[in-house]
Amino acid sequence: MEKKEEIKIHPVVENLRKIMRDRGLIQATMAQYAQTTPSQFSKILNGSVQISIWQLSNIATGLSMDIIDLFTYPKRYVDLDSIRVDSKQEIKATLTIELGQEKKDQVFRFIFGDNDVKILNR
């Protein structure tokens, strides 16, 4: 008795199924995005044929998504809403550099001139 080899479905293919379900899309539409036939796309979904990166790119374009989001679905790789900054909000940054005293003095002189080095080192 021959043992059938188990087919492993790539996580991005599982995500394509979720996207189809969530957006109410049929295989024919996804096949059109992937520029393949519905029967070939069915083989992609069941794991007997691997999907190519250019097909994923075409699908992402058809879905108005970034290709990376096909891999991270339902999450977005970069959530644009979370990185938008209110124009009235002030942005502050602090830079910390650890230097020996000699290098520290050189940096201070470069930035502030000779007169301020003594004040800054107090």
Alpha-carbon span 95 to 91, nearest angstrom: 13
Q: Is the pLDDT of residue 54 over 80?
A: yes
Does position 120 have pLDDT exceeding 70, yes or no?
no
- Res 62: pLDDT: 96
**What average pLDDT does the chain have?**
83
Average pLDDT over residues 8-14: 90
State residue 103's pLDDT score.
Answer: 78
- pLDDT-derived band at 7 (thresholds 50, 70, 90) equals confident
Q: Let me know: does 51 contact 34? Beta carbons within 8 Å.
A: yes
Confidence grade of residue 114 (pLDDT, cut at 50, 70, 90): low
Give residue-wise pLDDT tens across range 55-113.
999 999 999 999 999 999 998 887 666 666 666 667 677 767 777 777 777 777 777 67
> Per-residue pLDDT for 119 more than 70?
no
Amino acid identity, residue 55? Q
What is the rounded (10 degree) CA torsion for 53, 57, 62, 65?
120
